[in-house]
Amino acid sequence: LVVTALRSFLRFLQQRGLLATDLAVAVPGIAGWRLAHLPKALPADQVERLLASCDRRTPAGRRDYAVLMLLARLGLRGGEVSALTLDDLDWDCGEIVVHGKGQRLARLPLPADVGAALVDYLRQDRPACSTRRVFIRIKAPRRSFVSPSTICCIVHRALKRTGLTPAFKGAHLLRHSLATDLLRRGASLVEIGQLLRHSQPNTTQIYAKVDIAALRAIALPWPGVSS
């Protein structure tokens, strides 16, 4: 960010005539190595604390609980939750249709606890309105969420209620948490990739870094140290 801002500032100075030479081209780039970071995730017990923080005696609490359940149990992206419509819920088959990246559609099984959370919200709190979107604003005007950032705000508020302060506070935090927990419980990377609907297998590879037991088994001893 600093490098980008510096380049922009130097171009601004050149456009204003304060610099005769385009110094922006002299600012070196920063390498962004693929898969260089660890996925940011919460332990399973903290995810449960997050879900329990919703006051399910209130309309907002029931709505937010249903949103968080979709993120935590199915690993949906924030935009996928925001775009969910009433027609995407197949109650007869117990499935949910997800509108993913690249206009791809996927059908996922609807767990009983996620379905129950949705039913509580739909029956008690969702107002009658013209939109077919599942999640509606609590306050007027009664319409669907303006952008997926609203889903991130719901996650952020839940983190604040529980006193959790992870480095990343967006909706993807629960997606990463689900994948990490599944890996630690024995799920394969292929199975995790199928649940998260990754189009490329190498997208799931980053979660291999958090499987400490498997990494320890293949790690070579440090040279000069007896095993």
Predicted confidence (pLDDT) per residue in 45-69, tens digit: 999 999 999 999 999 999 999 999 9
Amino acid at residue number 93: C
Domain architecture of the chain: domains with CATH: 1-30 (no CATH), 44-212 (1.10.443.10)
Is the C-alpha dihedral spanning 116, 146, 168, 159 positive or negative?
negative
Q: What's the start-to-end Cα distance of the chain, in Å?
A: 44
Query: For 163, phi and psi rounded to 5 degrees?
Result: 75, 15
- Residue 150's pLDDT is 93
How far is it, in rounded angstroms, from Cα 10 to Cα 27?
10
Q: What is the pLDDT of residues 162-198, one digit of tens each?
A: 999 998 888 999 999 999 999 888 888 889 899 888 8
pTM above 0.95, yes or no: no
* Residues of the chain falling short of pLDDT 50: none
Nearest alpha-carbon partner for 210 in 22, 60, 41 = 41
Contacts of 36 (CB under 8 A, 6+ apart): none
- Nearest-angstrom CA–CA distance, 136 and 144: 4
Active-site amino acid positions: 77, 101, 172, 175, 198, 207
Output the pLDDT for position 65: 97
- Which pLDDT belongs to residue 184? 85
The pLDDT, as a whole number, for residue 114 is 96
| φ, ψ for residue 155, nearest 5 deg | -65, -45
pLDDT the model gives residue 206: 79
